[in-house]
Amino acid sequence: MEPKSNSWEFCEKPEIVVHETDLLVIGGGMAACGAVFEADRWATPQGLRITMVDKAATDRSGAVAQGLSAINTYLGENPVDEYVRYVRKDLMGIIREDLVYDLGRLVDDSVHLFEEWGLPVWKTAEDGKSLDGATGKRSAPLLKDGGKPVRSGRWQIMINGESYKVIVAEAAKRALENNRQATGMAQNHFERVFVVKLLTDANDPKRIAGAVGFSVREKKLYVFKCKSALLVAGGCVNVFKTRSTGEGQGRAWFPVWNSGSTYAMAAEVGAELTMMENRFVPARFKDGYGPVGAWFLLFKAKATNALGEDYTETNKEEARKHYGDYVDSMGTCMRNHLMIMDMKAGKGPIKIHTDVAMKKLAETMTPKEIKHLEAEAWEDFLDMTIAQAGVWAANNMEPEKVPSELMPSEPYLLGSHAGCAGIWVSGPEDFGPAEYHWGYNRMTTVKGLFTAGDGVGASGHKFSSGSHAEGRLAGKNMVAFLMDHKDTPAFKEDAEDLAKEVFMPMETWGKYSKYSTDPNINPHYIRPQMLQKRLQKCMDEYAGGVSTWYMSSASLLDEGFKYLDLIKEDSLHMCAENLHELLRAWENYHRVLAAEAHARHMRFREETRYPGYYYRGDHLAIDDENWKCFVNSVYDRQTKTWNVFKRPYHQLVS
Ligand code: SFD
Ligand code: AMP
């Protein structure tokens, strides 16, 4: 095949837009919205410019797009050190306690803001009864004024959150507009612009200087020049073969549109990553991926195997052989493990007894209250995972009458929910050892590049509220960075060359698509969807996806790397028929790198730290003596190699 170069013979050249700013926010999700809200307070009085770039429409972008039914991190009456213990326990003993502590002391303030901005929060009335968001708004005080939330669990509170993201985005857009007017920018909020890669300073490759992206609606290339950037493009979905295929493909628990951009772009500029071996495999309502938290915690439903046994009890002692006391802490992965044991033994289906739970709750209720309860059961999913309500309706299932099946999902890479993959960042000044603090809070190892939410590794259980709060932390610290660094970094890349690179898949399509009778089958290119399937198959079979019950090993991974190398090579030959497919091409380019980071880290950690998320068949036990440490890595873009190494874990809270 001839080497590919873009001479704009077959693809019309895009308009090139160059935009200059001081503080660039990549993403428009919870962390991004928090960042611009907070940064505006500090940057605008200094005349510093803030710009946000989101691949989608910020009102409904990111993981909270459909809404949520609960805010999973609200400390309220709980002490911060107790929060650290909870996160440590759930994540099997290895977290950055400085980051988690720092978040815990700030997160409630974001929740108070959400309520002030209009988010309906459930309240507990004086007689102990639950008031839904609308009633609570009318008759109970705000949380910040002493109003009592309805706690589903120790850390979780209930909301009517269908419009959660719209409410949070509105405050962010107001802040952006305030900054735009004060600094005289023509535009500072770019929606439907997909950021492809970061650009670093010509003289200092470890200093951020800009980013490049393209519009998914107009033929435009965007070149952003900045002095500091926040990379908050969420986690990574669709790296592994999905459980839902065919007509159900595209259903997932985490958002399919978050495609690993955070991890891939950070890796490409040499930012240190941490705990990329970690993943999240949520137990979910089968086929619709409905979250289980409200059902387990609020409605107090129980799950059993087909024999009616509680697998969290019956499998405990067997699990203890490998995982010792970790079985008693019962982190999220351990709950999965005990369930998977029964599934593998043919004792499924595992069912959650929503019917029993509802009947029990109804015992003390009036008929009107029962109807309300049933409405809430549906709303839990209509607020947040509409597909699940669809699956119930399609299968003639009423949760108050019949139980539902549970199923562990395909793996996701993320740093904000019950997982901790991400980027290694500097911690707070006042808490933690010196080696955890090398600059500004939430700054990566690349100067001026910050992250938050799913981007920050080794500190999960932030959820929506914590991601917003962490975005605020990062936004404020970026302003501090900008105040101390008045220089203007400059990248050496030429905008024309960047355009050629970004639009190469469209040139490839134009040049070769008529070469074969079926444009899907062509020796000169691979369509993004096919590449994605190859990646998913490779990860599924070699890196412990659903078809192997999450089982992998050194030998499997080593075999998988051979295919991964070829997929990586072929990713440079993706084609794009239109802008939409161009988006798919670059998303997959990011997914491949995120997948590789995950697999390289899995290969390095020779133990099974997260049973129920994945297993190293050659090292089935937890090995605290050798592996109670962080696994970090740095990618070399030139040589395409990974340096993976250990960093010590420090326990800061007793
Ligand atoms: O029920 C680019 N989450 C829950 N959090 C809670 O507090 N309560 C819940 O109830 C939660 N549950 C839940 C949750 C998520 C989902 C999908 C479901 C249920 C069904 C988790 C939170 O939502 C999550 O922790 C935060 O949203 C994470 O915040 P952040 O900012 O790290 O990610 P984001 O919000 O997804 O935003 C990402 C943004 O990046 C954009 N983007 N922009 C430009 N260029 C690129 N290359 C880009 N790639 C991505 C996206 O458009 C988006 O704006 S429950 O399961 O527990
Ligand atoms: P989920 O809906 O599964 O995403 O969970 C939402 C919240 O509830 C998270 O904080 C989980 O850790 C917690 N959670 C979910 N299921 C359980 C359970 N069976 N026991 C305890 N906590 C749970």
Strand-pair category, 23-26 with 50-54: parallel
Confidence check: pLDDT of 439 > 90: no
Name residues whose C-beta falls within 8 Å of residue 6's C-beta, 6 or more positions apart in sequence: 500, 501, 503, 504, 507
Domain boundary among 408, 440, 470: 408
Residue 319: closest CA among 611, 91, 607: 611
289 three-class SS: coil
634 three-class SS: strand
User: Residue 2: its pLDDT value, please?
Assistant: 52
Name residues whose C-beta falls within 8 Å of residue 222's C-beta, 6 or more positions apart in sequence: 17, 19, 53, 190, 193, 212, 213, 214, 215
Please tell me the distance between residue 10's alpha carbon and the centre of ligand 1 in angstroms: 37
Give me the domain span that covers residue 349: 283-408
Residue 387 lies in a domain: yes
Among protein residues, the one with the nearest Cα to ligand 1's atom 13 is 68
Residue 501: closest CA among 2, 173, 1, 13: 13
70 lines ligand 1 (CB under 6 A): yes
Of 186-195, 208-217, 239-248, 582-591, give the lowest mean pLDDT range. 239-248
Residue 534 lies in a domain: yes
- The per-residue pLDDT for range 345-401, each reduced to its tens digit, is 999 999 999 999 999 999 999 999 899 888 988 998 999 999 999 999 999 999 999
Residue 599 lies in a domain: yes
Count of other CB atoms within 10 angstroms of residue 514: 10
| Ligand showing the shortest atom-to-Cα distance for residue 586 | 1
Angle at which helices 495-502 and 504-512 cross, to 10°: 50
Span 571-577, average pLDDT: 96
Angle at which helices 579-604 and 528-542 cross, to 10°: 20
Please tell me the distance between residue 555's alpha carbon and the centre of ligand 1 in angstroms: 34
**What number does the ligand 1 atom closest to the CA of 462 have?**
25
pTM attached to this predicted model? 0.98
Confidence check: pLDDT of 111 > 50: yes
Please tell me the distance between residue 9's alpha carbon and the centre of ligand 2 in angstroms: 54
Please tell me the distance between residue 418's alpha carbon and the centre of ligand 1 in angstroms: 13
Query: 32 falls in which pLDDT band (50, 70, 90)?
Result: very high
Q: Are 422 and 273 a contacting pair, CB within 8 Å?
A: yes
Confidence check: pLDDT of 247 > 90: no
User: Residue 268: its pLDDT value, please?
Assistant: 98
Query: 3 falls in which pLDDT band (50, 70, 90)?
Result: low
Q: Cis bond leading into 349, ω under 30°? A: yes
Which helix (H) or strand (E) segment is 571 a member of? helix 554-571
Query: 248 falls in which pLDDT band (50, 70, 90)?
Result: confident
> In whole angstroms, what is the distance from residue 284 CA to residue 287 CA?
8
Residue 316 lies in a domain: yes
Number of domains in the chain: 2
Can you say whether residue 322 is alpha, beta or left, with left for phi > 0 and alpha for psi between -120 and 50 degrees?
A: alpha
- The per-residue pLDDT for range 51-64, each reduced to its tens digit, is 999 999 999 999 99
Residue 53: closest CA among 233, 190, 253: 190
423 lines ligand 1 (CB under 6 A): no
> In whole angstroms, what is the distance from residue 31 CA to residue 140 CA?
29
Domain boundary among 374, 393, 408: 408
Residue 652 lies in a domain: no
Strand-pair category, 189-191 with 50-54: parallel
Q: Are 44 and 52 a contacting pair, CB within 8 Å?
A: no
573 three-class SS: coil
Name the residue of 224, 464, 583 whose CB sits within 8 Å of the most ligand 1 atoms, as the mutation to test its pocket.
464
282 lines ligand 2 (CB under 6 A): yes
3-state SS of 108-148? HHHHHHHHHCCCCECEECCCCCEECHHHHHHHCCCHHHCCC
Confidence check: pLDDT of 252 > 80: yes
293 lines ligand 2 (CB under 6 A): yes
Q: Which two tokens stand for residue 554?
A: 């050194």
| Ligand showing the shortest atom-to-Cα distance for residue 152 | 2
- The per-residue pLDDT for range 342-357, each reduced to its tens digit, is 999 999 999 999 999 9
Please tell me the distance between residue 297's alpha carbon and the centre of ligand 2 in angstroms: 7
Q: Domain with 564 in it: what CATH number?
A: 1.20.58.100
Q: Are 346 and 330 a contacting pair, CB within 8 Å?
A: no
- The per-residue pLDDT for range 584-603, each reduced to its tens digit, is 999 999 999 999 999 999 99
Among protein residues, the one with the nearest Cα to ligand 1's atom 15 is 63
254 lines ligand 1 (CB under 6 A): yes
Which helix (H) or strand (E) segment is 564 a member of? helix 554-571
Task: Give 173's Cβ-side CA count (13 Å radius).
Answer: 14
User: Residue 269: its pLDDT value, please?
Assistant: 98
Domain boundary among 408, 441, 470: 408
Residue 533 lies in a domain: yes
Span 145-158, average pLDDT: 96
Q: Which two tokens stand for residue 490?
A: 């400059």
Span 250-262, average pLDDT: 94
Name the residue of 51, 54, 383 whose CB sits within 8 Å of the most ligand 1 atoms, as the mutation to test its pocket.
54
Query: 404 falls in which pLDDT band (50, 70, 90)?
Result: very high
Angle at which helices 80-90 and 97-104 cross, to 10°: 130
Q: Which two tokens stand for residue 209?
A: 């200087």
Please tell me the distance between residue 153's alpha carbon and the centre of ligand 2 in angstroms: 8
Residue 194: closest CA among 457, 530, 594, 585: 585
Confidence check: pLDDT of 505 > 90: yes
Residue 126 lies in a domain: no
Q: Domain with 338 in it: what CATH number?
A: 3.90.700.10
Please tell me the distance between residue 235's alpha carbon and the centre of ligand 1 in angstroms: 7
Residue 56 lies in a domain: no
Q: Are 558 and 526 a contacting pair, CB within 8 Å?
A: no
Please tell me the distance between residue 283's alpha carbon and the centre of ligand 2 in angstroms: 9
| Ligand showing the shortest atom-to-Cα distance for residue 297 | 2
99 lines ligand 1 (CB under 6 A): no
Name residues whose C-beta falls within 8 Å of residue 235's C-beta, 6 or more positions apart in sequence: 63, 254, 258, 260, 262, 412, 413, 414, 415, 416, 419, 421, 454
> In whole angstroms, what is the distance from residue 551 CA to residue 409 CA?
14
Name the residue of 83, 292, 299 whose CB sits within 8 Å of the most ligand 2 atoms, as the mutation to test its pocket.
292
Sign of CA dihedral 528, 531, 536, 539: negative
Q: Are 97 and 123 a contacting pair, CB within 8 Å?
A: no
Residue 467: closest CA among 417, 536, 421, 509: 417
Query: 249 falls in which pLDDT band (50, 70, 90)?
Result: confident
In this structure, the chain runs to a length of 654
The percent of residues in the chain predicted with pLDDT above 70, rounded, is 99
388 lines ligand 1 (CB under 6 A): no
Span 247-273, average pLDDT: 93
Strand-pair category, 629-636 with 273-274: antiparallel
- The per-residue pLDDT for range 456-499, each reduced to its tens digit, is 999 999 999 999 999 999 999 999 999 999 999 999 999 999 99
Please tell me the distance between residue 17's alpha carbon and the centre of ligand 1 in angstroms: 28
147 lines ligand 2 (CB under 6 A): no
Query: 1 falls in which pLDDT band (50, 70, 90)?
Result: very low
